[in-house]
Structure 1
Amino acid sequence: MKSLYRLVVTEKSSVGQSIAAALGVTGRKDGYMEGGGWLISWCVGHLAELSEPAAYDPDYAKWRQEDLPILPESWRFTIRADKRSQFDLLRTLLRREDVSEVVNACDAGREGELIFRTVYHLAGCTKPVQRLWISSMEDGAIREGFANLRPGRDYDGLHQAALCRSKADWLVGINATRLFSLLYGRTLNVGRVISPTLALIVQREAEISVFEPVPFYTVELDCGGMTAAGERLSDPAEANAIAAACRDSPAAVRTVERQEKTEKAPALCDLTTLQREANRALGYTAQQTLDYLQALYEKKLCTYPRTDSRFLTDDMESAVPELVSAAAAVWGLDAPEEILASQVCNSKKVSDHHAIVPTRSAATTDISALPLGEREILRLVSQSLLRAVCPPYRYAETAVVAECGGHSFTAKGKVLLDTGWRAYAELPQDTALPEGLSEGLTLPVEAVRVKTGRTSPPRHFTEDTILSSMETAGAEDVPENTERRGIGTPATRAGILEKLVASGLVERKKAKKIANLLPTQAGSSLITVLPEVLQFPLLTAEWEQRLGEVERGTLTPEDFMDGIAALVRNLVRDYQPVPGWEVLFPSERETVGPCPRCGRAVTESKKGFFCDNRDCRFALWKDSKFFSAKKKSLTKSIAAALLKDGQARLTGCFSEKTGRTYDAAVILEDDGAQTNYRLEFERRS
């Protein structure tokens, strides 16, 4: 009897190699591994993607408003040319008669499910599927995962949600991008998630541009080792009057209040929290942090990166001390004496994957051999765990209210009681007040000053602050039971920011170590003309809510897609260009001359000279038969003369009748609908 194999399909070759090592598979083949009843191969990311519009109709290769909306009835996929050979190999393996079962070992999430299922279906495979769902690439975690494989059908809803998300983004992206690009005469990238993110950045810059600083004044008393401040005042005369009343007067202590306060240890890191911290501390972009973290995951030094959870599961509590020891080893420090494992474990707060923590392998790895970026991110992840298992940071805060010149002044001081989790973080500086302060005590006033300040404008967005805003955007408009709020997901937010920069809608401007995210002129103009439905995060939040329903099986994929198609139809049918939009999108091309019909600029393109006003439709085509018959070309200089003077001199024109050449003036004639030329010959004396 012929032996049977189980085929394992991973997302990347590096993951395939790790699984092979954990399962003891050593036989190397071209594009896969074999041994012990296992075949292990990989997808190399997305092997197949939703086809471009031209795959449905060759006419869609050209962008034309009359073709919109483009709504495929039967969706098609295109296999990327650079990945065709790997797809062909996987198709062969999936169809092998000696393969009895397939294990989906792609990343345990929405995109990983989509990557596997797309290849599985395109290969025409119908063999039973098991699902590997793990959060760590360590050998022990892999073997435990294979011992607890789940039926692939348990993730049918996850696949349907992933496929709906992909199709919906295609519909909005293709149709909205073409619509607005055609209407406004330049390529404008529009999408469900990039547009509301851009809107946040544009709105912030608008707030900064209109901000007018307001001066304020504060009276301060120097009471010998203690500075007491009055309330903010808007009137400098009032502040000076209070200061005058306090000079040569003592201050009387009215109240002294001492409170002990605690700060709980921060929770563990999810992806967004780590990206924000890495941007603040290291200046890394969200994409850099994700890339470094993915590399650490594949090197078995960190757990799964694309998570939105900040806790571990309850069954991991016994493993926490060992993980903490590994985190301490990364820093070369001692582990906390008291490890509060229970405060980082809560299964109810864990979704698909638990929080990001270092693995046991990190304890025995030569950290200095890692690339700098990976090393710094591993240190941040380890620091997060060390802090999270510690007791609270405790301090005593004393507030003193004193009276001088008939006015109240306040001073506050802070004294450390217990370092707690701040043993692994920055410790705030003590600001102790003088000892012996009590109610009724009289203090000498050694100096009085009026301090001037100005209100500050909102800060430019950085990757840290935009990620925070993306998480919470539109939360006030979203139902409380919505599973995912804000814009995008932890797995996609870095890509959203990179796409905005790559498309020229946002730019990074370095300010010391951190780069600010600023909208370009094109980005600001795009938000000015976009309808509200594409600007505000409510749309993407509603999508995520409905995608969750698809995943759970309470909403059919067909009903979800019907809603998206209706949105696109309405957008194409109802949207009208903003009046005066030409000012928002000035042509980037050099002006050749004024349009004889509307007076707007005529600029040069590959095929001719066209009016920037798309409604005008004035054109001088370079392939004009009038010029080609005379073996002449419509050059920019000739076009400029025609637009300026209505005529241009031509020399060496070819005569088809005589075969000779001649000189003449070409006259431009335009009746508002059509453009024609005629020749005018010079009179001979």
Structure 2
Amino acid sequence: MKSLVIAEKPSVGRDIAKVLKCSKNINGAIEGEKYVVTWGLGHLVTLADPEAYDEKYKEWKMEYLPMLPKKFELVVMKQTSNQYKTVKTQIHRKDISDIIIATDAGREGELVARWILEKAINQKPVRRLWISSVTDKAIKEGFLHLKNGKEYENLYQAAVARAEADWIVGMNATRALTCKYNASLSCGRVQTPTLAMIAAREEEIKSFTPVPYYGLVGKINGMTIIWTDKKSNGHTTFERSKIEELYSRVKGKTGVVCDRTSTVKKVYSPGLYDLTELQRDANKKFDFSAKETLNIMQRLYENHKVLTYPRTDSRYLPNDIVGTLKERLESISVGPYRKLAGILAKKPIITNSSFVDDQKVSDHHAIIPTEQYVNLENMSYDERKIYDLVVRRFLAVLYPPYVYEEVTIKIDIEKEDFIAKGKIEKSLGYKEVYEKSSEDETIDDKSTVLPNINKNDVLEDIVFTITEGKTKPPAPFNEASLLSAMENPVHFLEQKKKALIQTLGETGGLGTVATRADIIEKLFHSFLMEKRGKDIFITSKGKQLLELVPKDLKTPELTAQLEMKLSKISTGNLKKQELMNEMTNYTKEIVAEIKTSDGTFRHDNMTNTKCPNCGKKMLLVSGKNSKMLVCQDRECGYRETIERTSNARCPVCHKKMGLKGKGDAQIFTCACGYKEKLSAFTQRRKKEGAGVGKKDVANYMKKMKSEAQAPVNNAFADAFAKLKL
């Protein structure tokens, strides 16, 4: 008899098959003496659409709402139906004794496998492989410690509850809004509050009034002294008259040094990465979208096997991982990391609670390198950027703290306090990891040496200057700051209740580390928000949607409460049906509110271009990287791209150009005013690229092989990445 192993994706399935010595390829599976390994393609089975419960739901009509299935049905996804048939066939083989679930170790991974087993009516015993990396070593160890599938039944119930709750709320609210206002309007418990935060930020910026503030500084012997308010310890005031009076009082006066103190300070490395923190940093440093970072991380985990599981919400390691750290240091001892890792490998590993804490690790620990040997030249340019972030952060937490001496001089002038601060660097510590890189921006490491001034010294000839500035509005959201707001949306709560704030903290805010990237992409693709440069703004469609949806759907509270209850289900402290009863009643209230509302939806992006399918006027919408014409009739569904951001660079300002039009009439345009027909551009590129032949490419690849052992941010790599061969 054999065990059937179900992986989430083909690549992971093949890795497991290799470790289990399965080599016989059959359609969609690999067989060995003791095991058969097969896989999903992500989800193979999903919840049925409304029309599966009643034919009438094929029509979107308000009188059919709410749609509340008594029992949810599962359907095989059409695009992956052949693979489902393969898995089902393997499940029901007579020589298969049991099933081993080897999908991603988490709530959604559990759902992928369990839905397949449920749809296939599996009656065989189930065991669970639960691992955080897919290296050969991790797979072998995982198979030595397989769990009983029953231990994860509550996790499965929580996953099903999440899917069914999102179905009844999302399907019903979307259909109700669309039918009521005859426009394609979608909403959900995560995407709508996220959109509301963007709108709230824009309103903050719009209503912000700058307020001038003032300060007073003095210069003496190259040293800067700053006035400090005795009550607030602040250095500025909103009262100009106060600063002017102070200036008149101290001008030309001498100062007396009241105190000189020296304090040694330590700064520890920032914590290890979870997915959200990594996505934030990648967006700030490389302008990667959250989705791009997740996709790159998935390749580094799944294909290269050099980083651990990406979809983690923990920035800590459990104690049982500490014993593997030396081996991980050996695996990354290549290229720019060889010397840094070598220093650590020669000494005992010193850990502390800032990054090792069993209580702060749930399903998966922080993202760190695996024990797999690393071949940098096999990675793409973007993969190396993400790998570099993770490896340097891993090294940094193992290095000692950055140490400096802070010198503070307090000066009394006419009974007013002035402060001067200096800094002397003592030990680079973890900053050695970033010494030749701009990656670490946690602290200003420039030394500022103060003159030799001691207590009771008298200071003369001080030159004073009044400083002034204005308060600034909050910045518009970009993907990095939006991820932060989704993770911690407390600022956007209408009611700052302690229980809700605690709930949001415990559940990780809006969405999960695994879903936030998709939520952001969905808001772009639904034309509810758009990008202008790096900044994100709500569209007219998005603003109107927020005016029309019920209030509860716009706040983070619903998601916080749901995630808390899902967590209780996963730990066996709440029955799934109790939550579903609540969500059913909530959905009824939402639909009733939409039905009786009296708002209107107006297309303010209507064009005079008629749809080639139905003849109705089309709407101009801005996507993430393109502009499109979309038919206003949601049932028609016609759309066409009329302008997109290309990778072609403007020869004048070197920014990316837009490409407009169709066929031979296409034209490149740039914000600087430069325009060029596609045909002329092609001819120009041919001339410019005439000198690039096979030999040049071969020489470049040879060069890249050696560059792979150099720091990732070298100038040559940056320059070459911009060329289009």
Report the Cα distance in structure 2 between the residues aligned to 1:47 and 1:549, rounded to whole angstroms.
27
**Contact 2:110 2:159 survives alignment (8 Å):** yes
Question: Secondary structure of the equivalent of 2:163?
Answer: helix
* Alpha-carbon offset, residue 34 of structure 1: 0.9
* Alpha-carbon offset, residue 301 of structure 1: 0.6
Residue equivalent to 1:574: 593
**Contact 1:7 1:99 survives alignment (8 Å):** yes
Alignment of 1:12-161 (within 5 A): 12-161=9-158
With 262-271 and 38-47 compared, the bigger mean Cα shift is at 262-271
Are 1:166 and 2:150 counterparts? Answer: no
- Aligned-pair RMSD on alpha carbons? 2.4
* Alpha-carbon offset, residue 244 of structure 1: 4.1
* 1:39-63 CA distance string (max 9 Å, x none): 1111111112111112222221221
AA at the equivalent of 1:334 = L
AA at the equivalent of 1:63 = W
Report the Cα distance in structure 1 between the residues aligned to 2:59 and 2:12, rounded to whole angstroms.
41
**Contact 1:246 1:404 survives alignment (8 Å):** yes
Alignment of 1:335-414 (within 5 A): 335=341, 336-337=343-344, 338=347, 339-343=349-353, 344-361=355-372, 364-404=373-413, 407-414=416-423
Residue equivalent to 1:681: none
In structure 2, stretches of 5+ residues that fail to align are: 228-234, 435-439, 491-495, 618-725
User: Which of 245, 266, 272 is the equivalent residue of 2:270?
Assistant: 266
Report the Cα distance in structure 2 between the residues aligned to 1:587 and 1:185, rounded to whole angstroms.
14
**Contact 1:279 1:464 survives alignment (8 Å):** yes
With 430-439 and 477-486 compared, the bigger mean Cα shift is at 477-486
Alpha-carbon distance change, 249 to 328 in structure 1, aligned in 2, over 3 angstroms: farther
* 1:11-32 CA distance string (max 9 Å, x none): 1000011101111211122211
Question: Secondary structure of the equivalent of 1:461?
Answer: coil
Residue equivalent to 2:283: 279
Residue equivalent to 1:420: 429
Alpha-carbon distance change, 384 to 608 in structure 1, aligned in 2, over 3 angstroms: closer
* 1:385-420 CA distance string (max 9 Å, x none): 111112222222222232345543222222222222
* Alpha-carbon offset, residue 422 of structure 1: 1.9
Are 1:334 and 2:340 counterparts? Answer: yes
Report the Cα distance in structure 2 between the residues aligned to 1:201 and 1:345, rounded to whole angstroms.
35
Alignment of 1:535-554 (within 5 A): 535-554=554-573
Report the Cα distance in structure 1 between the residues aligned to 2:427 and 2:4, rounded to whole angstroms.
55
Report the Cα distance in structure 1 between the residues aligned to 2:537 and 2:260, rounded to whole angstroms.
47
Residue equivalent to 2:301: 297
Report the Cα distance in structure 1 between the residues aligned to 2:464 and 2:9, rounded to whole angstroms.
68
Alpha-carbon distance change, 55 to 588 in structure 1, aligned in 2, over 3 angstroms: farther
Report the Cα distance in structure 2 between the residues aligned to 1:477 and 1:521, rounded to whole angstroms.
34
In structure 1, stretches of 5+ residues that fail to align are: 593-602, 610-685
* Alpha-carbon offset, residue 256 of structure 1: 2.3
Are 1:311 and 2:316 counterparts? Answer: yes
With 189-198 and 468-477 compared, the bigger mean Cα shift is at 468-477
Question: Secondary structure of the equivalent of 1:169?
Answer: helix
* Alpha-carbon offset, residue 141 of structure 1: 0.8
User: Which of 500, 504, 507 is the equivalent residue of 2:527?
Assistant: 504
AA at the equivalent of 1:340 = I
User: Which of 438, 444, 458 is the equivalent residue of 2:460?
Assistant: 444
* Alpha-carbon offset, residue 463 of structure 1: 1.8
AA at the equivalent of 2:125 = P
AA at the equivalent of 1:417 = K
Residue equivalent to 2:230: none
| Count of paired positions | 588
Taking structure 1 as the reference length, the TM-score comes to 0.81
Report the Cα distance in structure 1 between the residues aligned to 2:450 and 2:575, rounded to whole angstroms.
69
Alpha-carbon distance change, 80 to 407 in structure 1, aligned in 2, over 3 angstroms: same
Report the Cα distance in structure 2 between the residues aligned to 1:576 and 1:238, rounded to whole angstroms.
59
Alpha-carbon distance change, 577 to 453 in structure 1, aligned in 2, over 3 angstroms: farther
AA at the equivalent of 1:501 = F
Please say which structure displays the higher CA radius of gyration: 1
Taking structure 2 as the reference length, the TM-score comes to 0.77
* 1:574-616 CA distance string (max 9 Å, x none): 346665x44x634544699xxxxxxxxxx9995999xxxxxxx
Identity %: 34
AA at the equivalent of 1:543 = L
**Contact 2:332 2:374 survives alignment (8 Å):** no
Report the Cα distance in structure 2 between the residues aligned to 1:108 and 1:234, rounded to whole angstroms.
55
Question: Secondary structure of the equivalent of 2:561?
Answer: helix
Alpha-carbon distance change, 448 to 578 in structure 1, aligned in 2, over 3 angstroms: farther
Question: Secondary structure of the equivalent of 1:478?
Answer: helix
Residue equivalent to 1:637: none
Question: Secondary structure of the equivalent of 1:294?
Answer: helix
* Alpha-carbon offset, residue 483 of structure 1: 3.8
**Contact 2:66 2:587 survives alignment (8 Å):** yes
Residue equivalent to 2:645: none
Residue equivalent to 2:649: none
**Contact 1:157 1:550 survives alignment (8 Å):** yes
Question: Secondary structure of the equivalent of 2:100?
Answer: strand
* Alpha-carbon offset, residue 431 of structure 1: 4.1
Are 1:585 and 2:595 counterparts? Answer: no
Alpha-carbon distance change, 328 to 283 in structure 1, aligned in 2, over 3 angstroms: farther
